[in-house]
Structures are given as C-alpha cells and as structure tokens.
Amino acid sequence: MLAKLKSFLFDADGRGNGGAVAHSHEELHLAAGALMVEAARLDGHFDEGERAKIHDILRDRFDLDEDSVAELIDAAVEAAEDISEIFGFTRTLRQHFTHEERIEMMEMLWEVAYADGMLHDYEASLLRQITGLLYVTDQESGAARKRVRARLGIHE
C-alpha cells in the first residue's frame, strides 16, 4: 500500500509532483495519518494510547473500517520514518484540503500531541511548522489547540 501511495505523491526523483496529478482519498488519508504519527513519535514514545487515538481519529474523520485503519496506520508509521516525506504530505494536504479542513487537520494533530495528557516541546515545534506549511494562521492553530485542551480537560 505504501509504495503505491508514494508513487502517486512523489515522482521518480523523490520530489513532489507539484499537484500535477489529483490525489486519491487514500493518499490524503496517508498524508494525514503520517503527520499524526510523526506528531505522536516526537516525544520519543509512540505507545498504544497514541496509536489508539490516531486510529479513532482516522476512523471517524475518514469513515474507514477497522482493517483499512490498521493498514493506514502501518503505512503512516513507515512513511513517517522519512521526515522529508512529511513535508511532502503537508503540500498534498494544503493543495487538496479546504482551509477549514486544514484547520481541522491541525485540531486532529493537537489531539494526537495531547494523547498522553501533556505536550512535549518537540511536538509543539512540529505543530508550529506544520501550521505554517498548511497555511493555517497561528491564531487558528491556537484556537484548535484550545478546543482540544478543553475537550480533553487539560489545563496548563
């Protein structure tokens, strides 16, 4: 699955295709999943709680069955191994998600970052980078973060 999705996202030189080809739903799901996995891994731990949170978000947001979600997470974990692909994924999402969907993506990422009840500095740094790469304002990302913290009952 991952090889097929990568072939759509990147040309033979490993550079993004610049949006010349429309992306499938599966590719967009992989891009979103890989960003969530990377956000979860940055604190040095990718535990079952974080994996379960990503599972639930992907299942609910993209209306996927259990097998598809499991396969998607496995592909996302593999894709997240190469950080250069992560930035290609942000380009894919930026090009094919509406502005509101990109804000929703930031909210999903904040939810993953807070899955263990705390925010690690590396996670916060990655999310700040992704905010800019998705062309979401700091204010919009901050509002998404506040919504997640309120929903999870996290007070700093």
**Is 17 a member of any domain?**
no
pLDDT at 16 over 70: no
Task: Supply the pLDDT for residue 59.
Answer: 95
Domain total for the chain? 1
**Is 54 a member of any domain?**
yes
**Is 55 a member of any domain?**
yes
Tens digit of pLDDT for each residue in 51-79? 999 999 999 999 999 999 999 999 998 88
CATH number where 59 lies? 1.10.3680.10
Name beta bridge partners: 10: 16
**Is 9 a member of any domain?**
no
**Is 18 a member of any domain?**
no
**Is 6 a member of any domain?**
no
Vertex 25, ends 4 and 105: CA angle to 5°? 115
**Is 16 a member of any domain?**
no
Task: Supply the pLDDT for residue 4.
Answer: 46
Tens digit of pLDDT for each residue in 78-130? 888 776 667 788 998 999 999 999 999 999 999 999 988 889 898 999 999 99
Task: Supply the pLDDT for residue 22.
Answer: 52
Task: Supply the pLDDT for residue 23.
Answer: 55
Please indicate whether residue 78 or residue 6 has the higher confidence score (pLDDT). 78
**Is 13 a member of any domain?**
no
List the domain range (segments joined by +) for residue 90. Answer: 24-152
